[in-house]
Structure formats: C-alpha cells, structure tokens
Structure 1
Amino acid sequence: MRFSVWPNLMQPAVDVLAVARHADDTGWDGVWVADHFMGDGGGFGAPEDPTLEATAVVAALATATRRVRIGPLVLGATYRHPAVVAKWAATVDHLSATASAAPGGAGRLVLGLGAGWQRNEHEQYGIDLPPVRARVDRFREYCAAVTSLLSQPTSDLDGEWFQLTGALSEPKAAAGPDRSAIPVLIGGKGDRMLRIAARYADEWNMWGLPELIAERSAALDRACEAIDRDPAAITRSTQALLLPTDDEAAARRFLEAVAPRAAVAGPIGRIVDVVAAWRDVGVTEVIVPDSPLGRGAERIDRLDALAEAFAPFRT
C-alpha cells in the first residue's frame, strides 16, 4: 500500500511546504491538495478563511520535493478548461522531474480530476454549475479531451461543451523507466461517475470507510467489465479524517463534530485496524488529511506515529 499526506490549503504556504517536505523526507508516498477557492461553510471550512490556489501549490511542490508523487485531489472541471489543464499538467510533470530523486528524472504528477460540486464558489465567481446529470455528461467529455491531449499527437473533439481541432499539446509526460504517461485519478462515487472512471482513470478515489469503499469498488469493477477493461488496471485510493489519540472522550467529540464525513479517531491500533480493512477490500493508497493533526511539533509527531504504524502495510 501507499500512504500520502493531504495538507489543508487553508493554512500559510510555509506550513503547507513544511508538511510536504517532511512527508518527502520521512517515507510518505505522496502529497495531495484540494482544489477549491474557499471553504464551503460546512465540513470543508469557512468561506472567509484564506485559501491557497491548488495549481500554484502543486507547481511549488514539484520543485520543493524530490521523491513523493504530487497532485490535486481533484481539479474541478467546471472552472478549468481541459486544454489548459493538459498544458499545466505536462509543465508541472517536467518541473517535478527536474527535482526528482528517481533514476532518469521521471515526472511525479498524478492528475486528479473531478466534476465539480461546491456551490458557493461557483455562485460568488459567476461560474456555471450545471445540474448533476449535465455536470457528469460534461465531465465525460472533459476526460476524453484531457486524456487525448495528454497522449495523442493531435486531438479532435466535436462535443457539446468542448471542441478541439487538430489540437497540439506538447510536451507530453516526463517519462522514465517505469512511466510513460501522466496517470489520471478520477474522484467520484455515483454509478455514472464510476463508468467514466472505468474508461479513463488509472486511479479512482473517494472518501469512505471500508464497507462503503468495498461496495463502490465492486461497482467500479462491474463498470470496467462492461467495457472489457481489466478492473485491476485501476488502483483504488481513499481518505478519511484520522485522529490518533488515547483520549477516548476527545475521540468521541471529534467524530461527532465531523460527522457524517468518514473519520477514525482513537488509539493508533484502531486506525491500523481500519487500514487493514481498507487493504482487504482492495485499497492501495490511503491519503491522510493533516487538518485533524494539529500544527507544528504536534502535527509532525502524529505524522511520524502514523508513518511508523503504517510501515507493515507498505509495498
């Protein structure tokens, strides 16, 4: 299994980079960041809290780290044109290769894509947020455009939302001995989103504890089989809010405060049991948001404790 860190972008840039560099130095496998312009006023923070912009942060991570995979979890398709995303992704991938510790200077970007969902940022900035069905239809076309631009010499698409005409997009990925293209992660959980993941994703992601992940992962398997794609070609990742603490009262308060988001709180052994259950249902990457872990030395101590507990699961 892989284990990655998710720094909250509602904190100063110096803290985001400190978490990323610590992860890079201490054996974590990846660093992910969310793509939102503000909090949602609910479980994802207050709208007025300063929020760093994701693509700029990922570009900074490309040169601030040497080993970890980096990526957005996930870019919102409603406010990022696919041609711009493809050019950005290739550029950041090459930047990451220049700082890479891997032989051959391979790129380290994973391109996370999602359909978009957060209403308040769309309303405030005058960005259209179509109804769910239209949004998913648009996202299918979006993924076709991005993946073609990332892989084909030229791309043509005469779609309802996007048009490409002999479109060039160079360079492609910063390839290495074990990597020929920028992998695409798709985040989503509904059946129609899983059908898009089955066609276009190298990795699939959603929030969830093991029982839910098992059910949705089985649905993804069926979507792959329906188009004759091997389900094993898509790796599975997930995240939950993790709070290691020996204070059971504090653990209960935390779970009540963040409900209904996926979360685990309590002694490290309890978190390890959930990781084992994720492994048993096919999860190959667990992503750890840093927001419950405190700040400064407390956060570093908790990250180190989690890394030590996760070591037996590493591949």
Structure 2
Amino acid sequence: MQLGLTCPRFTWPGGDAAVAGRFAQVARGAEQAGVASLWVMDHFWQIPNFGAPGEPMLEAYGALSYAAAHTGRVTLGALVTGVGHRPPGLLVKQLTTLDALSGGRAVLGLGAGWDEEEHRAIGVPFPPAAERFERLEETLQIVRSMWSDDEEPYHGRHFSLDRMSTSPRLTRPRPPVLIGGSGEKRTLRLVARYADACNLFHGADVRHKLAVLREHCERVGRPYGEIEKTLHMRLPEGRSVAESVELCGEFASQGIDHVIVAPPDASDGATLGHLAELAEAIREMTPEGRSPGERTGMLRART
C-alpha cells in the first residue's frame, strides 16, 4: 500500500506572504516523509468542507508546477479537476507541461464537477449532470488521442479540436489518468473504460464500489487488476499513528492500494512526522486481491 498527501488549505500564520514558503515546506516535507503522491484540490476558492470562501486558494496546476521545482520524486496531481474548469486541449497542455517540468511525475485527476456556485462565480458553465458526464467522457477520449500519435481532428457533441498532437511528451504513452467519484452507473463505468486509477472517499462502501468496478471491467474486457484503487480521507488532529495504521489496514483488506490523507495543516512538523511513520508502517500491506509484493506502480513516487 502507498500513502499520498493532499494539501487542502493554504491558511497559515503570516497570511498571504507565508503561502509560498509554507507550501514549499509541504512539498519538501512530504517527499522526505516517504509519501508517494502529493495532491491539491482543483478549486478556485476554498470549499465548505475545509474553510471559508475568502481563505487563500491556489490554482491547481500553478501550485503543482511550483511543487515540482521543490521535489524530485513524489508524484503530483489534482484531486480532482472538474471537467468544466478548462477546455480539454488546454488541460492536456497544462498536464504535459507539468509532466515535462517534473521529470515525468504528473497524474491527471478528473471528475464531473459538483460546485455550481463556484462555476457561476468565475463564469464557467455548469450544465446538468448528464451533460457533465458526456463532457467528461469526451475529455477522456481527447486525452487519449492527444497523448498518442494520432493527429486526426476530434469532433464530439461538446468539443471539437482541429489538432490533436502535443509536445513535449515525456511520459510514454501518457501520464496516468485518475477518475474521482463513486457513482456506479457512470463514474465507475468510465474508470473501467478509460482510467488507470479510481478515487473513492472515506465513508463509501468500498467493497461494494470495487465489486461494481470489477463488473464494469468485465463488461469492457479490462483487467480489473490494472486499475489502482485510491481512497481520500481526512486526518483529524489528535489521531495516533497506531490508529491511522489500523484504519489503513482496514482499507487494504477492502482492496485499496493507495490512501490519500488530508490533514488540518500539511506543513506542520508533527503532521509530517506522523506521515513518515505511517508511510513506513503501511508500505508492506497487501490490498485484497493482490499477491504479496505486487504493485500497480501507477501513482508511486519515482525512486
């Protein structure tokens, strides 16, 4: 099992002037702690689960590029990018740039999006759910085409691109794609067809959701074991390392390969120490359905 860290808050002592230094501390600290992946949310303002709308929030891909300059091993991604936030061609260009500048450490996290108020506030359309999922599937098709040798134009119901190539391309055939969400009819179907990894939230019925994913994989002829199963959870203040290890063991027994934690303050020394102990303790846990020592390798930090 692997451990990831997400930094959901940029509210630190010292105010806005402290953000750059503190976030660099998060990135370096995560890598030193042995964390496999580092994530930020792709929101344009703070969301209710983590703070107030007026609190600092960095644009995801600018932040990840900054983190890339302060690290050399940890995998980098947004958990996750709403499909309506950027046109697909621009999104692929941003990921290609991050991948090149990080030495091949980028992951594309995608989802259908949910925050209507945020979309309206920044002038981004927020269509009904059915259309958002259509756009998500078209974006996934565009991603595959742009990160291939196919330069044919793409013309879908919602997106049209005249030129499908992009450069520089460092990771071959492409950076990994992760889809966030646990919807059984649409999200997990798209995971089976297009993604290298899925992301569930703590509180979901993991065994059931993964059983549904397995069924979708069988329908499309996709090996279920190819997909890395990740789970996002809060790391509350005061939880002991032993409690975190026990919880991760439960997730491994349910089939989770990669746990991504969100602490109250990702730059705090005690938090980073907790993560270092946790990463070491869970490294040899074997998720249900995998052989001892088997790794998907998709979102692992580079050695």
Question: What is the TM-score when the length of structure 1 is the normalising length?
Answer: 0.82
Among 272, 282, 285, the alignment partner of 2:245 is 272
36, 49, 60: which one aligns with 2:66: 60
Sort the Cα spacing of 1:171 and 1:243 in 2 relative to 1 into closer, same or farther, 3 A: same
- 2:25 maps to what in 1? 18
2:182 is aligned to: 189
Q: How does 1:46-195 map to 2 (within 5 A)?
A: 46-97=52-103, 107-172=104-169, 174-175=170-171, 180-191=173-184, 192-195=186-189
CA distance in structure 2 between the aligned counterparts of 1:307 and 1:235, rounded to whole angstroms: 17
Give 1:217's aligned residue: 210
- In the aligned structure 2, how far is the partner of 1:90 from the partner of 1:167? 13
Q: Which SS does the other structure have where 2:174 is aligned? A: coil
Instruction: Note the C-alpha offset of 1:190.
Output: 0.7
Change (3 A) 1:311 1:193: closer
In 1, Cα distance between equivalents of 2:121 and 2:229: 34
Cα shift readout 1:4-52 (whole Å, capped 9, x = no counterpart): 1111243323222211101112211111111001123x21321111211
1:34 equivalent in alignment to 2:27? no
Letter in 2 for 1:276: G
The answer for the alignment partner of 1:226 in structure 2 is 219
**Residue 294 (structure 1) shift:** 7.0
**How many Å apart are 1:146 and its aligned residue?**
1.5
SS class of match (2:147): helix
Please name the residue that 2:3 is paired with.
3
| Shift in alpha-carbon separation, 1:279–1:7, aligned structure 2, 3 A | same
Higher relative CO (Cα under 8 Å, sequence separation at least 6) belongs to 2
Partner Cα separation in structure 1 for residue 285 and residue 237 of structure 2: 18
Determine the structure 2 residue equivalent to 1:101.
Answer: none
Q: Percent of aligned pairs with the same residue? A: 34
RMSD of aligned residue pairs (Cα, Å): 2.0
Match of 1:283 in 2: 256
Structure 2 Cα separation of the partners of residues 287 and 155 of structure 1: 37
- The structural deviation recorded for 1:244 is 5.9
Matches within 5 A, 1:240-279: 240-243=233-236, 245=238, 266-279=239-252
Matched residue SS, 1:243: coil
Aligned residues: 279
Residue 50 of structure 2 aligns with an amino acid whose one-letter code is: F
Residues 155, 164 of structure 1: 8 Å contact kept: no
Q: Secondary structure at the match of 2:84?
A: helix
Rounded Cα–Cα distance in structure 2 between residues aligned with 1:280 and 1:109: 28
1:307 aligns with 2:300: no
Question: Residues 155 and 84 from structure 1, CA distance in 2 versus in 1: closer, same or farther, beyond 3 angstroms?
Answer: farther
SS of 1:275's equivalent in the other structure is helix
Matched to 2:241, the amino acid is I
CA displacement 1:199-253 (0-9 Å, x = unmatched)? 11001112124x61221111111111111111111110011112363xxxxxxxx
Structure with more of its chain in helix, by fraction:
1
Q: TM-score, normalised by structure 2?
A: 0.85
Structure 1 runs (4+) greater than 4 angstroms displaced: none
Q: Take 2:202 and 2:152, find their aligned partners in 1: how far apart are those partners?
A: 36
| Aligned position for 1:204 | 198
For residues 59 and 163 of structure 2, what CA distance do their matches in structure 1 show? 31
Q: 1:113, 1:186 within 8 Å by CA — same for their partners in 2?
A: yes
Contact 2:176–2:196 (CA<8 Å) still a contact in 1?
Answer: yes
With over 3 angstroms needed to count, the CA separation of the structure-2 counterparts of 1:243 and 1:169, relative to structure 1, is same
Unaligned runs of 5+ in 1: 98-106, 246-265
Paired letter, 1:111: L
Secondary structure class of the residue paired with 2:235: strand
Gaps of 5+ in 2: 12-18, 287-292, 294-303
The 3 A distance-change label for structure 1 pair 148 and 9 is: farther
* Rounded Cα–Cα distance in structure 2 between residues aligned with 1:110 and 1:285: 14
Which letter maps to 2:75? Answer: R
**Cα contact 1:5–1:30 (8 A) shared by 2:** yes
The alpha carbon displacement at 1:284 in A equals 0.8
CA distance in 1, matches of 2:3, 2:86: 28
Task: Tell me the amino acid that sits aligned with residue 19 of structure 1.
Answer: V
Per-residue deviation, 1:311:
4.4
- SS of 2:146 mapped into structure 1: helix
